[in-house]
Amino acid sequence: MKKVLTAALCVLLTACAQTLTVTERDDGKTFAVARGTKVAVVLPENPSTGYSWEFFFFPHDQTALTDAADRYADPDTDLLGAPGTKEFSFTAAKTGVVTVTGYYYRPWEKLNEKTDKRVFFTFDVE
């Protein structure tokens, strides 16, 4: 009986620890996620051009998304100037609707919301 309960607990913990990965293909989509779900926004990025992704979320409630972090992964090639990948990850911590918007622009230039590349994803946290 103890082995069955341990196995069931492992299955439940694995299910709770799942990560939802979204990409450019998901731009504009809405996702229903459970509280505690880890979300990873994965987008191509080429910092050698000066461009990088910056992410914003609305509403600006800092308790809605926790453990927010971003990292850059180098490309799997030795070619100079090859793009890598930017991953913005967070945990959906509070019930409600949160929209994450990413802009791809050169940080030393003023962000132009009308012309700079943009993606957005909406998360309905239940």
Kindly tell me if the per-residue pLDDT of 22 is higher than 50: yes
Domain spans of the chain? 19-125
Fold of the domain spanning 19-125: Immunoglobulin-like (2.60.40)
The string of DSSP letters for the chain reads -HHHHHHHHHHHHHHHT-EEEE-GGGTT-EEEE-TT-EEEEEEEE-GGGT-EEEEEEES--TTTEEEEEEEEE--SS--TT--EEEEEEEEE-SSEEEEEEEEEE-TTSPP-TTTSEEEEEEEEE-
Structure confidence at residue 16 (pLDDT): 54
The string of pLDDT tens digits covering residues 27-71 is 999 999 999 999 999 999 999 999 999 999 888 777 788 898 999
